Structures are given as C-alpha cells and as structure tokens.
Amino acid sequence: MNVILIPGFWWDGSLWRDIEPELRAAGHSVRTLTLPGLRDGDDPSAVGMRASIDAVIAAIDDLDAADGPAVLIGHSGGGPIAWGAADARADAVARVVFVDAFPLPEGANITDEWEPVDGTLPLPPWDEFPPSDLTDLTDELRAEFRERARPEPVRVARDAMRYAGDAAVRHAIPATLIATGFPAADIREAIAGGHPFMTELRELTALDLVDLPTGHWPQLTKPAEFTALLVEILAR
C-alpha cells in the first residue's frame, strides 16, 4: 500500500520518524511530507491552504500505481489537508486516516486561535492548549517539541476550505478517525447531535472511529501503540 504521512501544525516530516520504519517493515511504501511553508528556505507568510493541498495532490500523482492506491494519514491540521487532496484524487485514494482530526465543512477553516507573527503562528505556550492535548507529553518531550517546532503559515490555519470534486464521490472514500485527546464516543455524540463542524463526518458512508487514549501527538507519546494501530488499519 502507498502511504502518505502528513504532519500537523508546527512539524515537518520528522514528526513521523519513529513511525515510518515500522510501516515500511510491514510492507508498505511510505512517503513523509513536509508541507510548503515548513521547508527550509520557504516564506511561510506566502503559503495558504491551497498550496498545502496541492502538495499532497502532487505526492499522490507521483506514486507508483504498482504499489496500490494511496492511504493518506493526516495528523491534526494535516487531516483537513489530506481530505482536500482526497477530494481532488478520489479515484487514487483507498482511505484517509484522521489522527485527532476531522474533515472541514465547506467554507470552514482550521482555527482562528492565536495571534500571528509575521504571517505565521509560532508554537504557543503549553498553557494555551487544552489539558487533554498534553496527556503523556512529558517535560522532556515538550522540550524536544519546542526545539523542533517550526512557525506555521497563518493562512493554512485561516483559509476557508473549498472542495472542487463531487461530494458524493468524496463522501464514499473510506475513512478512519483515531481519537486521542477526545474520545470516540464524544465524536459520535457530536455527529448525532448535528454539530456544524461534523458535517463532512456525518455524510461519510464508511467511517470507523478508534480510540487511542493519549495526548494530541501520539507519534511522541505512544509511538509503539500508534504504529501498531496504523498497521492494523492498513491491513484491513
């Protein structure tokens, strides 16, 4: 299976450094992405949501079809980006895995939180995150995270999501949501209650919800358990 790993905010592709080798050992072809604006020499203030989606589309187009269709694994802010790319390449995507993330409704953005600095969102202080996000994130991991964090392009967070593909085709793409900082039961309740941000999830015809209790960054806090769960999902 072709697997494309898409990091969330403040991270380059190294977020997946403990995950990628195990997925390869399980027989998958794996590509980790560093999105535009997070690469060395990029101007983050010039990058928006569309550029990030286009980068994932380009990665899908570059795959070797002999290895099978693509599975897009998007963490946090990378989840909506993965879904935007799947919308554009639905015939080439076998599944999208949302890691503590969900697909955005048309016209919504990822977040309006935090004040920008020079067109970017620097990693905020830890006390500005919900406590559930920080579960299992030790002082050592927090120090490593802050050292490796890169400023996030503010437009990636604030641009409105726009879909260009057929909605029925997009909604037929199988999806798995791995719930870490918030339990799957809460997501089911929000979907059933008609929460406006659950519009896309509510329309999916093949959605699995799986719990992995930890904080928002399972790549750091529970890498072995997280990798085993991904291998299980990819084997389906």
Mean pLDDT of 206-213: 97
Mean pLDDT of 216-233: 98
Q: Distance (Å, rounded) from C-alpha 220 to C-alpha 218? A: 5
The pTM assigned to this predicted structure is 0.97
Q: How far is CA 149 from CA 178, 201, 218, in A?
A: 23, 30, 16
- Residue 185, helix vs strand vs coil: helix
Q: What is the pLDDT of residue 181?
A: 86
| Residue 155 pLDDT level (bands cut at 50, 70, 90) | very high
Mean pLDDT of 135-140: 98
Burial 65-101, CB ≥16 within 10 A → b, else e: eeeeebbbbbbbbbbbbbbbbbbbbbebbbbbbbbbb
Mean pLDDT of 93-102: 97
Answer yes or no: are the C-beta atoms of 168 and 112 closer than 8 Å.
no
CB atoms within 10 A of CB 125: 8
Say which CATH topology domain 2-234 has.
Answer: Rossmann fold (3.40.50)
65, pLDDT greater than 80 = no
Mean pLDDT of 223-229: 98
79, pLDDT greater than 90 = yes
